[in-house]
Structure 1
Amino acid sequence: MSDERGAASITAVAALAVLIAVTGGLMHVGSAVIARHRAQAAADLGALAAAGRIASGAETACRKATTVAESMGTSLTDCTVDGLEVVVHVEAAIGLAGWRFGPAHAAARGGPALLR
């Protein structure tokens, strides 16, 4: 019996380490999902805002998309105007407790609906 003394402590420490690692991984995945949704929301709203300003010119439309994206804590990486259609690309930083990971990307189109 003396050979097994402390085995429960080692098992408990190992289980706690696994629990901490799994929790950290889930928190990272959760922050990535949140960043992706934030980027998509900013892209959607930016594209709609830009489409609403298309009559004022492509530069004004893209400037409005930039303003919307930045107000939502994201960055506009590309804005393309083709006729009455605007396509915006946005990225949002993925962060967890001060640590920064690669950005989440999203794109959206704004313009008239196509009827078929």
Structure 2
Amino acid sequence: MTGGERAAGEPATGGHAAGEGAGGGERGAGTVLLIGIVAVVLLCMAGLSALGSAQQARVTAQSAADLGALAGASALRHGLDACTTAGRTVARNGSGLAGCVVEEGGVVAVVASRPAGHVVDLAGVATARARAGPASARTNGPP
């Protein structure tokens, strides 16, 4: 036989039967490794997405609480119901009113909340607090 011929019954794989020889037992190992790497990357992306969603919910809740407290203090100054006005303002800004208290001196304290997860609520609820009122009611802090 010459170098390019093969004997009858000899496989066409260069003398090795399928699954035997160099690397034959590791067939498909690269696929499993690639699937594992893709799964880890997807989990990392999901985690970062959840953190971003929680931060966005916190910022939205804080903005809503700040605006709600300002609107409530302004309404109180004009003789209107501070907590009703604060609740409407908080709702218009994408959060829920979790608490509202009219304190001494015309100060309105507002607590706003917003779910941190949009699709699945795994991150909990973002809550923010704010107070607003006349400068004469300030008891501490910078002038």
- Fold similarity call, TM over 0.5: yes
Q: CA deviation at 1:86?
A: 0.8
If asked which structure has higher relative contact order (CA below 8 Å, sep 6+), I would say: 1
Q: CA deviation at 1:3?
A: 2.2
Alignment-mate amino acid for residue 90 of structure 1:
A
For residues 77-116 of structure 1, the aligned pairs below 5 Å read 77-82=98-103, 83-96=105-118, 98-101=119-122, 102-113=124-135, 114=138
Counterpart-to-counterpart distance in 2, 1:44 and 1:73? 13
Larger Rg: 2
Q: Which residue of 2 aligns with 1:67?
A: 88
Alignment-mate amino acid for residue 31 of structure 2:
S
Of the structure 1 ranges 100-109 and 15-24, higher mean CA displacement relative to structure 2 is found in: 100-109
Alignment-mate amino acid for residue 32 of structure 1:
A
Alignment-mate amino acid for residue 14 of structure 1:
G
Q: CA deviation at 1:54?
A: 1.3
Q: Which residue of 2 aligns with 1:76?
A: 97
Q: CA deviation at 1:72?
A: 1.3
For residues 1-116 of structure 1, the aligned pairs below 5 Å read 1-55=23-77, 56-57=79-80, 60-82=81-103, 83-96=105-118, 98-101=119-122, 102-113=124-135, 114=138
Counterpart-to-counterpart distance in 1, 2:99 and 2:128? 11
Q: TM-score, normalised by structure 1?
A: 0.89
Q: CA deviation at 1:46?
A: 0.3
Higher-helix-fraction structure: 1
Counterpart-to-counterpart distance in 2, 1:15 and 1:76? 43
Alignment identity in percent? 38
- Work out the number of aligned pairs and report it: 113
